Amino acid sequence: MAADPLSSIVTALQREQIIPDVIPSSHTFTPSVLFSIVYPNGAEVNLGNELSVEDTQDEPEIRLAQLNGPWDDAAETSYTLAMLDPDAPYRADAQFRSFRHWVVTGIKAPAVTSNSAEALNALKTHSATTPYRPPGPRPNSGIHRYTFLLFQEPAGPEPFIIPQGAPEYGAALEERRSWNPITFAETYDLKLVGANYFLVRSAEVDTDE
């Protein structure tokens, strides 16, 4: 019998200590949406698999899989996705935890029939708030846990948009550092409903002179 996909997510996050390093143990997180991240070259994020810097250079697509009932029950539900690196610059000295790689709002379920099991690319209805920045761990900084968090946006008459001037619009290197995704979620009444991650091993460079 296959493991429950919900508990598998939490177990995988605990295994790599993303709980509690990114999602505090005190934060109630019950996953309700499965999603995968697929890069243009076919590389796919799957709860802790290892990818290369080369695999992950270009902005990926998001594939959603509803766990509780058909998609047409949640046709109007929209999501925000954040990608971050809690191991900046090193896991053992993560003074820039977390480095914000990507924030995109207005993600919607694909237009598939309710009896279709096919997971198609989600619709990105807004341009990214934080433009995608690919992994680029500094040499000799070990393994980095690139984490994706999926938040359900609050329902309302107007589409959810992060206000202009918010820190999430900062695209420069220095503006992406020391970002707390849980504080961000609390600020905008976003509910964490899914998570995924992959690992990148930094290049090993001989530093002997």
Domain CATH number, residue 74:
3.90.280.10
Domain containing 156 equals: 47-87+115-208
Place of tokens 């992994």: 135
- Round to the nearest angstrom and report the end-to-end CA distance of the chain: 55
In a domain, 23, yes or no: no
Residue 16 lies in a domain: no
102 in a domain, yes or no?
A: no
pLDDT mean values, one per 10 residues, the chain (209 residues): 74 96 94 93 96 97 71 71 97 96 94 55 93 96 97 92 96 97 97 97 78
| Domain assignment of residue 133, yes or no | yes
The count of structural domains within the chain is: 1
pTM score over 0.85? yes
What is the model's pLDDT at position 67?
54
Question: Nearest-5° angle of CA 97, CA 25, CA 190?
Answer: 70
Flag whether 122 is in a domain: yes
**pLDDT of 164:** 95
- Amino acid found at 146: Y
